[in-house]
Amino acid sequence: MSNIIILGITSLLTDISSEMVYPLIAVYLSSLGATPAIIGLIEGIAESLASLLKVFSGHFSDKTKRRKPFVIFGYSFSAVGKFLLYISTTWHLVFFARIFDRLGKGIRTAPRDALIAESSQDGKKGKAFGLHRTMDTIGAAAGVLLAYFFITTWHGSYKTVFLWSVVPAALGVVVLFFVKEKHKTDTEQKHGTDTKLKINFKSFKYLDKKLKYFLMIAMLFTLGNSSNQFLFLRSKNLGFSAANIILLYLMYNIVYAFVSYPAGIISDNIGRKKILVMGYFFYGLVYFGFAYASAKISIWILFALYGLYIGLTEGIEKAFISDVAPTDKKATIIGLHATIVGIGLFPASFLAGILWTQLGAAAPFILGGFTGVLSAVLLLFLI
């Protein structure tokens, strides 16, 4: 349990850093002359790169039977990305800062999640992942509050926020050195081994049937799951200032924090599937709402419901995968899921930017609403 707490503290600190800057990226890029299509391109490449790296870091983590070095290196890379954002003066430099930040996420995520799964008690993975997501999201909420404080106190100075975000990112790396890796016995290493499972798409046929369907549904869902930066742009489009956009994001994170832990516990008792179906369905409703929203009060409600969606899915997806993955391939499968999602993230965000530019602000949200509801239906009947 101590590892889970330590990893939770690191995620808390790192999310303070990340969420100080995240709700400001789209607005900052707009101030530098970036169009919605450029923002979609930047976020699509950055997020896809992060997700595509996860399967490789997970695979090598399984192969070397080490988690901690990958986690430390990944979090360190993200800290460097925050500093690069501080020194950026054009959208091109912001692009490189986002690449560095997401590279770190891609390296650390699968080994970290495998470490959480290995450190949790049998039958309590949902609780462990839920606790981790709650600590992560508490950090996110704190980061958003700090961003609001800095942006209002220093009269909209993005650079001040970016500079201060480096501090918690660095502290998060320091905390990781207290993690103690669990070294498996030979019996544990052999248990559940599937030597056919290699790091390529031919090995897809060797996966559990439920896992196959889930990965295919995840791909479909991702095609409509464009970057959150479009939610911030939509809010700006409807008259919200940078400071108020930060408060909207705070609303999202508060709901997310309250939902994650109990959702994980409930999933241990009633199953992951029911929770995930509800989460995907809420996502679809929220995106349809963003497509047709016109009043500011509706945006507040939609951000709250968006927090409900992420709280019902983020940790539960990982718990579901760790339930059905071969014992010695947990990090690889968690990474494979992230990579499949990553394949869809670039076209999702890039297409959203094109749709916004060519057809109007509602278009990308209509696509997201449709894929969300369809994914919920498929998950309900196929898994």
Please give the Cα distance from 36 to 336 (Å, whole number): 29
pLDDT tens digits, one per residue of 34-63:
888 899 889 888 877 776 777 678 778 888
Please give the Cα distance from 201 to 339 (Å, whole number): 11
Q: How confident is the model at residue 227 (pLDDT cuts 50, 70, 90)?
A: confident
- In this prediction, residue 187 carries a pLDDT of 41
Please give the Cα distance from 250 to 148 (Å, whole number): 9
- In this prediction, residue 204 carries a pLDDT of 59
Residue 383: pLDDT over 70: yes
Please give the Cα distance from 191 to 189 (Å, whole number): 6
Please give the Cα distance from 366 to 364 (Å, whole number): 6
Q: Architecture of 2-179+203-382 per CATH?
A: Up-down Bundle (1.20)
Domain boundaries, the chain: 2-179+203-382
CB of 3 within 8 A of CB of 168?
no
Please give the Cα distance from 206 to 336 (Å, whole number): 13
Please give the Cα distance from 288 to 282 (Å, whole number): 10
Q: How confident is the model at residue 206 (pLDDT cuts 50, 70, 90)?
A: low
- In this prediction, residue 202 carries a pLDDT of 53
Residues in Cβ contact with 63 at an 8 Å cutoff, skipping those fewer than 6 apart: none
- In this prediction, residue 319 carries a pLDDT of 82
**Range 86-117 burial, b when 16+ CB lie within 10 A, else e:** bebeebeebbebbbbbbbbbbbbbbbbbbbbb
Q: How confident is the model at residue 191 (pLDDT cuts 50, 70, 90)?
A: very low
Which among 125, 374, 380 is positioned nearest to 275, based on CA atoms?
A: 380
Please give the Cα distance from 154 to 164 (Å, whole number): 12
Please give the Cα distance from 284 to 369 (Å, whole number): 4
What is the pTM for the complete model shown? 0.75
Is residue 21 exposed (0-12), middle (13-18) or buried (19+ Cβ within 10 Å)?
Answer: buried
Quickly tell me which residue has 């997401």 as its tokens.
102
Is residue 205 exposed (0-12), middle (13-18) or buried (19+ Cβ within 10 Å)?
Answer: exposed
Residue 374: pLDDT over 90: yes
pLDDT tens digits, one per residue of 88-112:
989 999 999 998 898 888 888 878 8
Please give the Cα distance from 282 to 301 (Å, whole number): 12
Tell me the three-class secondary structure of 201-219, residue by residue.
HHHHHHCCHHHHHHHHHHH
Please give the Cα distance from 355 to 21 (Å, whole number): 26
Please give the Cα distance from 106 to 48 (Å, whole number): 9
**Quick one: DSSP state of residue 359?**
H
Q: How confident is the model at residue 183 (pLDDT cuts 50, 70, 90)?
A: low
pLDDT tens digits, one per residue of 253-309:
888 878 888 888 888 888 888 999 999 999 999 999 999 988 888 999 999 999 999
E strand spans, 268-359: none
Cα atoms found within 13 Å of the Cα of residue 369, Cβ hemisphere only: 14
CB of 115 within 8 A of CB of 179?
yes
Which among 230, 222, 228, 247 is positioned nearest to 141, based on CA atoms?
A: 247
pLDDT tens digits, one per residue of 118-128:
877 666 777 78
Residues in Cβ contact with 57 at an 8 Å cutoff, skipping those fewer than 6 apart: 70, 74, 106, 107, 108, 109, 110, 111, 331, 335
